[in-house]
Amino acid sequence: MGGFAAVVGASHLVSSRAHSRRRKSIAVGALLVIYAAALAFRPSQWVVIDLAGLAGAVGGVVWVEGALQTPAAVAVFLTVAGVVDYLSMSAGVSKVIVSRYTAGTSNLLVYLGLVVPVRGHAIPVVGLSDLFIGGAATVALIRLRLRPVAVMGTMVAGFLSALAYGLWRGGTPAVPFLAVAVALLVWRHSSRSAMRETPGAPASYQGFRGD
């Protein structure tokens, strides 16, 4: 979860500091070039791999999150991404990449996630796609004034649910779990917003500010 928090924090910082579209484009371009260089040169040091991966994830988040203009759009984005993630892990590109890594015929998987050193080898522990998709949703929801604690708690619950299911049944994509968790959060937020706008709503909802 430290990597996810780093992606969210850095993405929020870049988005808030890059006030113009030109500055944001330059920042995104620079971050993605760093990651592309790692993919091209395949460094062996795990610290370099992780820093380049984080740069790529942050660049992707800053590039995408601004297009998510409503909480419902975030939920739809995660739902679509969750379906694609599931299909890819079941019988698509992700399954092929994981299979080749397991068989020892390709190390591409190492450069598509964050890694930790184990007996002198860099072992992937979380996919950059999970950090990118989850990070974009998180930064967008916080920008849309949902409570940061509620948003981060929802994401942590989604990741932990995926981890628990994976330990029980084997490797599993995380994005579908994030999609379900965020859908519940957005539904709760929408329900409370509708309650506030309804004449004669209970006093406990009057003056409510965000989720």
Distance CA 179, CA 115 (A): 24
Q: What is the pLDDT of residue 202?
A: 53
pLDDT at 15: 86
- Give the three-class secondary structure for 211: coil
Residue 120: per-residue pLDDT: 82
Greater pLDDT, 113 or 193:
113
Q: How many CB atoms lie within 10 A of CB 181?
A: 23
pLDDT of residue 84: 94
**Span 185-201, mean pLDDT?**
76
Task: Give the amino acid at 118.
Answer: V
Q: Determine the Cα–Cα distance for residues 57 and 63; give it in Å rounded to an integer.
A: 10
- Distance, in Å, from the CA atom of 159 to the CA atom of 16, rounded to the nearest integer, reads 26
Domain ranges of the chain: 2-191
- DSSP code string of 5-26: HHHHHHHHHHHHH--SHHHHHH
pLDDT tens, position by position, 112-170: 999 999 888 888 888 899 999 999 999 999 999 999 999 999 999 999 998 888 888 76
Pairing of strands 121-127, 113-118: antiparallel
pLDDT at 200 over 70: no
**pLDDT at position 209, please?**
46
User: Could you tell me the end-to-end alpha-carbon distance of the chain, in angstroms, rounded to an integer?
Assistant: 22
pLDDT of residue 16: 83
**What beta strand segments (E) does the chain contain?**
113-118, 121-127
Structure token digits, residue 142? 């916080």
Q: What is the mean pLDDT of residues 33-53?
A: 94
For the stretch 60-114, pLDDT in tens is 999 999 999 999 999 999 999 999 999 998 888 998 999 999 898 999 999 999 9
Is 182's pLDDT higher than 70?
yes
Query: Is pLDDT at 205 greater than 50 in this prediction?
Result: no
